[in-house]
Structure 1
Amino acid sequence: MARRQHDFPVLRRRSSLITLVLYILALQAADSQRVKVEPEVSSYPGQDVTLRCSFSDPTGEVKKSQVTWIRETPDGKKVNIAVFNPQFGASYPEKSIDGRVAFRDPSLQDPSIVLQRITMGDEGNYICEYATYPSGNEEGMTRLFVLAKPSNNATVLLVRAGPDPVAVARCVSANGKPPSEITWVSVLPGNSTSSAVKNSDGTVTVTSEYRVTPSEAFNGKDLSCVIQHKTLSKPESFSLKASIEYPPRVMISGYDGNWFLGREGVELKCSAKANPPASSVVWTVLSGVLPPSVEVSGPVMKVMKVDTDLNTTFICEAKNSVGTGKLEQNILVRESPPQPQGSDPGMVAGAVIGCLLAALLIAGLVFCFLRRRKRDQGYHGGEQQGSYDPKTRVFGGGKNGGNNNGTVFTYREDSSEATTEHAAPPPTAQDILLSGEMDTLEKSKFDLEADEGYDRFDESFGESRPVLQLRPGAGEVEEAGYVDDDMESQRDGSIISRTAVYV
């Protein structure tokens, strides 16, 4: 315990020493900050630059005896370039900048200097040093940057299409300080390479190239070089178009497939896509000699009048400094012009036949429908013979035939039961024809002159009676319950009764 008490005075002495050291360092830092300068100054070659310096002494207790400007060379040496002493005045000991450096207002209060006609070699550190009492020398340092605005340009490199990557454009930013930054903007699938060269005056030249695998498809595509530098208010951009050389690609136009004998005013035109442009275009034929009916004028071959000599193969050949391109065009001469669309006789005949068949089909369907309807409804006689419709049905004889002069079963709409009454003799074919309720087609089936005598009257009996008669057979009809229509159509177009009896 006593040992710890003896240690306290030692700790207090050490703490006092640390505090003293910190105080001295603070005073030195405060003293060093009394010389006021600009940390950095930029200028351009050929311009004048001012390096400012002053001493801050609010109390006025510090005695200043002299101010000296010192330049620190790149190799670390320090050289006095300007000195001001109130007793001896201003002096400039460094001969290398003699005449280019001077105090702006020689005094201890404002010892700022002016450097005239700045060069790249003037770049470096400049120290403003005050000789004071009792603090000693105090200083402040300014870094002078000499900027050089670069000279920028961009060019397109003419290359030929091939399998290996090559530079298609170059961008150069020359004699700049600090070095420029170059980037590329392009739709071409490539990459850039850059290099920098330091000049003797301290400036730097930057060169960048854009490299692609050149092909015909890349010719004329856009690409841009963008240069950024500290001296530029905004990036400088150069727009370029790639130039890829390739042999001619030949195209022939003018043949429409309708060259017929005697046609006039037709021509073939040969066009060649190439870089550089084609220097010559020549027309030839596969047989060796151009037909006399053609006239060639550069890339155009005019035909005065189509004849059989044109029934051949024409060849167009184009050349440039890279190579040659050619294309063939086969000509087929027709005897006569082709028929206009839609006026082919075969097509017209086919259309007419199709329409007729459609009309016949429709007419047949309508005829069958009407015939079926007539058959279902039956024939209507005069009022004297009574009506023959779905509401009034005449039932014929029994299954084995029978007398047709028997009972008639009539179904009446206003009666709840069927009634039995004695009917008048059934209508004959002549009665049906004379009734006026049949159309012409149906009457023709019962023509008394053309038919085979079904409705003729047999005079051998001495009386007029029909050959075709209806036999009712009422008892059998009641038992069978037969309610279908009695009349039936035949294949020859006639209509007969299912229960008809020939006598």
Structure 2
Amino acid sequence: MARHYARNVSAKTIGLLFFAASILIQHGTSGQRVKVEPEVSSYPGQTVNLRCAFPDSTGVQLTMVTWIYEPKDGDRTNIAVFHPSFGPSFPSNSPVTGRVVFKPTPIELTSPSIEIKDVKMSDEGKYICEYATYPDGNEQGITQLIMLAKPVNLASIVTVNAGTQSVVVARCESKNGRPAAKIKWVTTANGNSSEKETTAADNTVTVTSEYRMVPRSVDNGKDISCVVEHRTQVKPESFPLKLAIQFPPEVTIEGYDNNWYLGRTNVALTCQAKANPVPSSVIWRTMSGEMPEVALVKSNELKVLKVDDTVNTTFVCEVKNRIGTTKDQVTVFVREPPKKDSNAGVVAGAIIGSLLALLLVAALVTVLVTRSRRQQQGYRANGGSDMKTRIFGGGKKASKNGTSGGSGSGGVAGGNNNGPVYVDRSPNQGLGEKNNHHQPFTMGARPEVVTGTPTAQDILLSNELDEAERRKFDEMADDERYDHFSGGGPILQLRPPPDQGDIIGDYMDDDMESQRDGSVISRTAVYV
């Protein structure tokens, strides 16, 4: 028995030493020599240990120790006293009488801890361990006993009607907790919160928080959460909610595109209504009082099978719920049917385009032909003087009656038709044989040639003309009457080439052909 008792005492002593060491670690080496735990928490119905120690009593004589209870609101009360000579004492007027004892036993003055059983919420407060010492007097240490009570948390939405005054739209409570809970709100709605605390007889606290705002229809259904933080909870408790704001219907009519024309089919109007609570009825009517026969009404939709003149009216949609009645209207203007598209325009466009293209081509051809003719006329107009020069050479002029050159095989007399005659057919100059070129063309005779440029052979033959014959040709050149020439002799016409430059001579040489009888004729001339 003694051995068992000694083992228990040694174990308790070791525990007390560890307790004293922890207190020293927590509080350091302050001047306070009474070591206690600053705070102890407990739930109702549990047993709590309030530790106290005087580890260093060197130079001090410990006389007595007293435990004092000091509630939050009230006077101090002695709950336990220990004297080394008289032992422990527990006053009868103590609020913990019968539930408090010294621990451990036997009681040691250096560590007079107490134990309180079946603690209540009203036991919360300050517990003071006070030593009576000599010669220093009284010394003490204070422990705060905190009673914990896990609250019951709940949150709810307050249904309100839309208005202009700030009202409570949500409520959150943390009931019968100890200590008091902390409540906050999380939402995008524009409002604020207020709190109040109520302490019960058992010292528990109920915290009530209300969220207030000016309710609007646009805030209906918005998220709002109540978040409760408490010491007894591992993490904050959240209650997600949605605002419930009632408002009369907000009505709009959709579907009219301002293009309802006669004969159009399957058009519709839709009555869109936003309300809380949901609409109880949707009514369609017209300002004239009569619904067109072509209109079919089904719930919030008005469908027109085929637009006619009866649809040319004002349609009204009236929506009702428990809060109120709201309506919207739309006036339909029936238009004339659009003209049908046909291929006539396309065909007409194609025809006009083709005609324009043809006219463009014709104009282009006309321009080219006119230009070609002008070039030819210009060639003829500029070739007369050069022709005479090339025929008669050196610019010498023949007299009207004289002869030149003799009467050899290549000579030409004044009235002889056997010599070649080159006539310039330009518009400004004419050359006509008045008396000597009415004879028919015969083999061996030299034809009259109407051309712009003579060949080399022609120039050589022209040198055999006498002076009188040259003058005769000069007179013919001065007359310039090609259009009045009425001789019956053959006339050889040559086509001038496009270029009136140096290629004229080459063209004439290639076109003319010498005959066996000495005459020269054109390969391309037409004789009339």
TM-score range, shorter chain: 0.5 to 0.7
- The answer for the alignment partner of 1:396 in structure 2 is 382
Letter of the structure 2 residue corresponding to residue 194 of structure 1: S
SS at match of 2:382: coil
CA distance in 2, matches of 1:364, 1:237: 93
Deviations 1:188-211 (A, max 9, x none): 3x3424242342444444444444
- Cα distance change on mapping 1:146 and 1:315 into 2, 3 Å: same
Q: Please show how residues 104-123 of structure 1 align to structure 2 within 5 Å.
A: 104-106=103-105, 107-108=107-108, 110-123=111-124
Contact 2:260 2:307 in 1 (8 A): no
Q: Secondary structure at the match of 1:274?
A: strand
- Structure 1, unpaired ranges of 5+: 1-29, 381-387, 410-422, 433-455, 471-503
Q: Distance in 2 between matches of 1:315 and 1:298?
A: 14
Tell me, what secondary structure is at the counterpart of 1:96? coil
Structure 2 Cα separation of the partners of residues 431 and 117 of structure 1: 155
Counterpart code for 1:79: T
Partner SS for 1:405: helix
Structure 2 counterparts to residues 280-429 of structure 1, below 5 A: 280-303=281-304, 308-331=309-332, 339=340, 343=341, 348=346, 352=350, 359=357, 363=361, 378=375, 396=382, 403=385, 405-407=387-389
Taking the TM superposition and a 5 Å limit, the aligned residue runs for 1:11-26 are: none
Q: 1:358 to 1:279 in 2, by over 3 A?
A: farther
Matched residue, 1:92:
90
Q: 1:294 to 1:191 in 2, by over 3 A?
A: closer
> Within 2, Cα distance between the matches of 1:350 and 1:177?
96
Paired AA for residue 222 in structure 1: D
TM-score computed with the length of structure 2 as normaliser:
0.58
| Cα deviation code 1:273-326 (max 9, x no counterpart) | 112211111122222233444443332345566655444333211011222121
1:39 aligned partner: 38
Aligned residues: 386
Aligned partner (choices 474, 481, 487) of residue 461 of structure 1: 487
The one-letter amino acid of 1:72's match is: E
Q: How does 1:200-279 map to 2 (within 5 A)?
A: 200-201=200-201, 202-254=203-255, 257=259, 261=263, 263=265, 267-279=268-280
Q: Which residue of 1 aligns with 2:197?
A: 197
Shift of 1:38: 0.9
In structure 1, distance between residues paired with 2:89 and 2:254: 88
Determine helix, strand or coil for the equivalent of 1:97. coil
Amino acid at match of 1:240: L
CA RMSD of aligned residues (A): 4.8
Alpha-carbon distance in 1 for matches of 2:381, 2:305: 93
Cα separation, 2, equivalents of 1:364 and 1:324? 78
Structure 2 CA distance for aligned equivalents of residues 240 and 373 of structure 1: 96
Q: Could you say what secondary structure the match of 1:322 adopts? A: coil
Partner of 1:169: 170
Residues 249 and 196 from structure 1, CA distance in 2 versus in 1: closer, same or farther, beyond 3 angstroms? Answer: closer
CA distance in 2, matches of 1:218, 1:80: 59
Task: State the shift of 1:465 in Å.
Answer: 4.6
1:155-198 CA deviation, whole Å, 9 max, x = no partner?
A: 3333333334444333444444444444444333x342424234
> In structure 2, what is the equivalent of residue 443 of structure 1?
none
Distance in 2 (CA, whole Å) between partners of 1:284 and 1:125 is 78
CA distance in 2, matches of 1:283, 1:360: 64
Which deviations, in whole Å up to 9, do the C-alpha atoms of 1:99-142 show, x marking residues without a partner?
Answer: 43333423215432233343332222111234556665543221
Q: Deviations over 1:9-59 (max 9, x none)?
A: xxxxxxxxxxxxxxxxxxxxx997332201222334444332111220376
Q: Which runs of 5+ in 2 are unaligned?
A: 1-28, 392-420, 428-448, 452-481, 497-528
SS in structure 1 at match of 2:486: helix
Q: Tell me the amino acid that sits aligned with residue 77 of structure 1.
A: D
Equivalent residue number for residue 453 of structure 1? none
2:122 counterpart SS class: helix
Task: Give 4+ residue runs of structure 1 displaced > 6 Å after superposition.
Answer: 334-338, 427-432, 456-459, 466-470
Task: Report if aligned partners of 1:227, 1:237 keep a CA contact under 8 Å in 2.
Answer: yes
Query: 1:65: how far off?
Result: 5.7
Distance of 1:371 and 1:182 partners within structure 2 = 105
Counterparts in 2 of 1:74 and 1:331: CA distance versus 1, 3 Å? closer
Query: What is the letter of the counterpart of residue 71 of structure 1?
Result: Y
- 8 Å Cα contact 2:425-2:450 kept in structure 1: yes
- What letter is aligned with 1:463? G
- 3-state DSSP of counterpart to 1:121: helix
